[in-house]
Structure 1
Amino acid sequence: MAYDGNVRVGGEPHVHELADLVITKVAVGPMENNAYLLRCRATGEQVLIDAAAEPETLLRLIGDDGISSVVTTHRHGDHWGALRAVVDATGARTLAGRHDAEGIPVPTDVLVDDGDTVRVGRVELTARHLAGHTPGSIALVYDDPHGHPHVFSGDCLFPGGVGNTFGDSRAFASLVDDVETKLFGPLPDETWVYPGHGKDTTLGAERPHLQEWRERGW
């Protein structure tokens, strides 16, 4: 079955198979978060993005091969609810944006800054600091050498707009500026976007609406 990323809580994970990387997406409750398991084809190393909830579901997904790291995209509790349980079960190290780490109750082993490299075996992803939804939110960009880029956007970019900035106009301006400069600017329309909740999208599907988002202010 072709990957479409339309997962649901309690449903089956969806698998996006790339030449060097296998991406498995699962939805977990109670806030319908997406978690992503990345596996390097060459080495078998695995990294989890957002241990959001349902540790038993995530640990089944991880399987016997374990994970080397868990990346938390931002400090909101629905994105780290299962982090302690997953780290205790796997011994994985933890990564998070430098400016959000203090808001995550599980200690962060690696503080991530804009432009840092996050490795999954031989695969490299680039961290992008996108301030606004939270001070230290990060996205991860995989520029697939065999195809188009892939972005794990946390709660910073969704189908139909940027993440919630809770009525703070300065935070909104910061987020939409960062998203436009660091994602839409350098990356092509074919770039696949994997958000923290809900369905996937592409930069091409969202690009025509950037000015509309700015005008509406959310």
Structure 2
Amino acid sequence: MSDYTGDVTQGGPAAVRDLPALTVTKVSVGPFDNNAYLLESRTSGTRVLIDAAAEPATVLALAGDRLDAVITTHQHGDHWQGLADVVAATGAATHAGRADAEGIPVPTAHLVDDGDTVRVGDIELEAIHLVGHTPGSIALLYRDAADPDGIPHLFTGDCLFPGGVGNTNKDQERFESLYSGVVAKIFDRLPDETWVYPGHGKDTTLGAERPHLDEWRERGW
């Protein structure tokens, strides 16, 4: 196990986690302390970025001279401010949830639905559609093919954080949709050791959050 914690600060160094088949690099970019994640195959060098949130120069410095795809987790502007510049510089293919694509000003080449496998080279991610924070948010589940008994890795955008689900603007219907989706599609399916990489702030695990599910439901956010 590496000493990766996922704790990053805006303007600070990236955090790097080496998995058997993949390297995950996490960086915080401004002005809203967004996390951007670069996934790189340790075999082929294929590179996938999750959320070109801001500071395209910072993101491009991580990717170097090659970026094969950018996946945008949802349509909120703080998650795609750097997307146009990153795509222009690299020619990376764009992916986003079908119901959010129209809200992203850079055209989406690949529309993603619930349960789809997003396959870029030898990197495969399962898309999990979650409705409530936005209509078309997607979380992305990675299972390391070189370590089939290893822990799952889940990139949740703004749908799941340490301490709760994402913002639903005090709309009860939206909260119930997001909460029930997170419980059914994530907590009911995946083990406690699943590592969660959120769109802002620190990482967590499902095991750390599971005891608080009833509390989240009662408070309504």
* TM-score normalised by length of structure 2: 0.97
- Once residues 124 and 57 of structure 1 are traced to their aligned partners in structure 2, the CA distance between those partners, rounded to angstroms, is 25
Pick aligned residue for 2:171 from 168, 171, 182: 168
What are the Cα deviations for residues 125-156 of structure 1, in whole angstroms up to 9, with x where unaligned? 10000100000000000123411000000000
- Once residues 120 and 18 of structure 1 are traced to their aligned partners in structure 2, the CA distance between those partners, rounded to angstroms, is 17
Which segment drifts farther, 117-126 or 85-94?
117-126
Is 1:33 aligned to 2:58, yes or no?
Answer: no
SS at structure 2 position matched to 1:99: helix
- Once residues 144 and 54 of structure 2 are traced to their aligned partners in structure 1, the CA distance between those partners, rounded to angstroms, is 29
Residue 128 of structure 1 is matched in structure 2 by 128
- Once residues 119 and 41 of structure 2 are traced to their aligned partners in structure 1, the CA distance between those partners, rounded to angstroms, is 9
- Once residues 123 and 60 of structure 1 are traced to their aligned partners in structure 2, the CA distance between those partners, rounded to angstroms, is 21
Mapping for residues 102-117 of structure 1, pairs under 5 Å: 102-117=102-117
Unmatched 5+ stretches in structure 2? none
Mapping for residues 149-188 of structure 1, pairs under 5 Å: 149-188=152-191
- Once residues 121 and 184 of structure 1 are traced to their aligned partners in structure 2, the CA distance between those partners, rounded to angstroms, is 29
Residue 192 of structure 2 is matched in structure 1 by 189
- Once residues 28 and 120 of structure 1 are traced to their aligned partners in structure 2, the CA distance between those partners, rounded to angstroms, is 24
Residue 96 of structure 2 is matched in structure 1 by 96
Residue 63 of structure 2 is matched in structure 1 by 62
Unmatched 5+ stretches in structure 1? none
* TM-score normalised by length of structure 1: 0.98
Count of aligned pairs between the two proteins:
217
Residue 203 of structure 1 is matched in structure 2 by 206
- Once residues 108 and 163 of structure 2 are traced to their aligned partners in structure 1, the CA distance between those partners, rounded to angstroms, is 31
Q: Give the partner amino acid of 2:56.
A: P
- Once residues 72 and 214 of structure 1 are traced to their aligned partners in structure 2, the CA distance between those partners, rounded to angstroms, is 27
- Cα deviation for residue 119 of structure 1 reads 2.1
RMSD: 0.9
Ranges of 4+ aligned residues in structure 1 off by more than 6 Å: none
- Cα deviation for residue 182 of structure 1 reads 0.7
Seq. identity, %: 67
Q: Is the 8 A contact 1:38 1:120 kept in 2?
A: no
